[in-house]
Amino acid sequence: MSLTTPASFSCPYCMEPNVVEIDEINDIGHMQVLDCQVCCQPIEMTVHGQGEELSVEVNREND
C-alpha cells in the first residue's frame, strides 16, 4: 500500500502539467513551495480534502 497519492496540476506560470506525490497525513492543509518541473518557477501549493477527494491549489509564489 502506497502512502502517497499522485496529483496533477498546471503550472500558474507556464501552464505546463506537473505531477506531485501527496502525503495525505502530512500535506493536507499545509502550504508548500515547490518548483515547476518545466520552467523552475516557485509555486505555492496547498492540498485540500482527503481520500479520493483531494484537490491541489496552486498559486504564483510572488502574487
- In 3D space, the residue among 32, 42, 55 whose CA is nearest the CA of residue 11 turns out to be 42
| Pair 45, 54: CB distance under 8 Å | no
What CA–CA distance (Å, rounded) separates 63 from 50? 27
Q: What is the pTM of this model?
A: 0.83
Q: Residue type at 26?
A: N
SS3 52: helix
Per-domain residue ranges of the chain: 4-60
Nearest-angstrom CA–CA distance, 15 and 55: 17
Segment 8-45, tens digit of pLDDT: 999 999 999 999 999 988 999 999 999 999 999 999 99
pLDDT at 2 over 90: no
